[in-house]
């Protein structure tokens, strides 16, 4: 193979390697730090685990958000990364690096808590502990969201009360 043909082949392979499949997470916001991009991709990979685990979560946790959009605010020293999460049938079907319009609720936490939940053998309990110690909060953004997040907080309180 001639050097020119090799160069064309290398450029073609490089272009193919850089092409993002349609199903991949696309990050268009140039303001994201490398750590934020890494977190977004880790969350995308974690979706498979979450979606398998979702059926084992109590219905009063997943039900209120089964077919809704939620914004996750990840606070860091660099600012706040807003990630829109769309649920369908209690499973995550989409992430949006720019947030969702009109989300029913907002979850606020830090990157360390997100990562702890993702690596935990018991993600629900890890998130619950973050809610208890104040490193994660859930707030409704409208009347329906307030009622549904209140139901979730009540359920968590009841679990604490009876020692589950």
**105-110 and 69-76 as β-strands: parallel, antiparallel, unpaired?**
parallel
For 134, phi then psi, to 5°, come to: 85, 5
Confirm whether 2 is domain-assigned: no
Sign of CA dihedral 151, 156, 160, 162: positive
Predicted confidence at residue 69, as pLDDT, reads 93
pLDDT over 50 at 104, yes or no: yes
Compute the average pLDDT of residues 58-87.
Answer: 86
Q: How do residues 119-150 score in pLDDT, each as one tens digit?
A: 988 888 898 899 999 999 999 999 998 998 88
- Highest mean pLDDT of the ranges 15-19, 54-58, 153-157: 153-157
pLDDT, residue 55, reads 82
79 in any annotated domain: yes
Query: How many domains does one find in the chain?
Result: 1
- For residues 151 and 149, what is the distance between their CA atoms, to the nearest angstrom? 5
| Average pLDDT of the segment spanning 92-115 | 90
In a domain, 20, yes or no: no
Average of per-residue pLDDT across 10-38: 49
Let me know if residue 11 belongs to a domain: no
CATH number where 101 lies: 3.30.1050.10
Task: Choose between 78 and 71: higher pLDDT.
Answer: 71
* 19 inside domain: no
Of 61 and 144, the structure prediction assigns the larger pLDDT to 144
Q: What is the extent of the structural domain holding 35?
A: 25-162
Burial 151-163 (b: 16+ CB within 10 A, else e): ebeebbeeeeeee
């Amino acid at each position: 193979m001639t050097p020119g043909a090799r160069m064309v082949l290398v450029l073609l392979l490089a272009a193919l390697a850089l092409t993002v499949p349609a199903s991949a997470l696309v990050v268009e916001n140039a303001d994201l730090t490398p750590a934020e991009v890494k977190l977004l991709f880790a969350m995308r990979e974690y979706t498979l685990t979450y979606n398998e685990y979702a059926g084992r979560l109590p219905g009063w946790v997943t039900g209120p958000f089964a077919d809704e959009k939620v914004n996750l605010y990840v606070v860091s020293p660099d600012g706040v990364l807003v990630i829109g999460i769309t649920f369908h049938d209690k499973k995550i079907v989409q992430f949006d690096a720019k947030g969702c319009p009109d989300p029913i609720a907002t979850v606020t936490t830090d990157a360390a808590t997100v990562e702890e939940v993702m690596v935990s053998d018991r993600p629900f309990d890890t998130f619950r502990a973050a809610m208890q110690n104040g490193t994660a909060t859930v707030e409704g953004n409208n009347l329906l969201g307030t009622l549904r997040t209140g139901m979730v907080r009540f359920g968590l309180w009841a679990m604490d009360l009876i020692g589950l």
